[in-house]
Every structure is written in C-alpha cells, then in structure tokens.
A = this chain, B = another copy of it.
Amino acid sequence: MVCHSGDLDKLYSALIIGTGNLSMGWESAIYFTFFGLERLKKGGLDGGNLSRMNFLGIGRWYMRRKMKQANMASLQRLMDDYKELGGKVIACDLTMQVMGLKRSDLNEELVDTYGAVGTWWNDAKDSDITLFI
C-alpha cells in the first residue's frame, strides 16, 4: 500500500486492511508519503482531519464521539496491532528531504525502512494486493 493521504479515515482503512491481511497470514507493507508521512511525525497519529467536513450529515466532532462509543480502536492502537503482527512501515525519504524532516522528528520506533520508489517497487512487485490510499 501507498499511504499518500493524511486523512484520519483513510489511515483507518489502510491500517484495518493491513491488519486484516496480517491476521490472514499474509504480509503487509505501507509506504507513507506526502500527507501520509505527516502521520508518522511525533504526535501525528492523534490529531488530524477527516476527508470531509461531515459524514452522513453529521459533524467531525460527533463522528469521533460515535467512533469512541462504538469502541473503535484509536489510530495509535490500530498501528500498535499492525506492528505487533509484523506489519512493515516505510517512510518516504523524498518527502522527508523536501520538508526538512529529520528521523528524530518521526516516531522512529514505528519505521522499519526509510526508502524511495525502488523500495516501494520491491515490495509491490510481489504483492497480490496493491492499493493507493
């Protein structure tokens, strides 16, 4: 998977899909680039935006509450599960360079590899499922 988007809901989908694949005995790798990389910054999993201002007619704040009530895991928790099951996280070197980010700006314990398109391709070429999120 390429995680290009930084939207809360899209990262949700990415991690749920990744964790789902892992629990079926498959491998999973997510390449975080552009706005997605923002999520790997220290504190990046907690805040952030939904794709759209409202969802099924309700507001963002209300949706977060709903998600809590439905016992939906937080992104941090989903990421922890993903990593524990062996999910791979790749941080995009080019995005880091463009933004002047140092490795210490990221949650380094989450990152398995710092890479470029070749790194991505290496995983993607043998993948049965490829998604751009």
Q: Is the CB of B9 within 8 A of A117?
A: no
The answer, among B24, B94, B125, for a CB contact under 8 Å with A129, is: B125
Least distance between A16 CB and chain B CB atoms (Å) = 5
A43 to B129, CA, bound (A): 32
Q: Is the CB of A51 within 8 A of B129?
A: no
* Complex: chain B residue closest to A119, CB-CB: B20
Q: Is the CB of B13 within 8 A of A33?
A: yes
Residue positions of A touching B, CB distance < 8 A: 1-2, 4-6, 9-10, 12-13, 16-17, 19-21, 24, 26, 33-35, 38, 41, 49, 51-52, 55-56, 63, 66-67, 70, 72, 94, 97-101, 116-118, 120-121, 124-125, 127-133
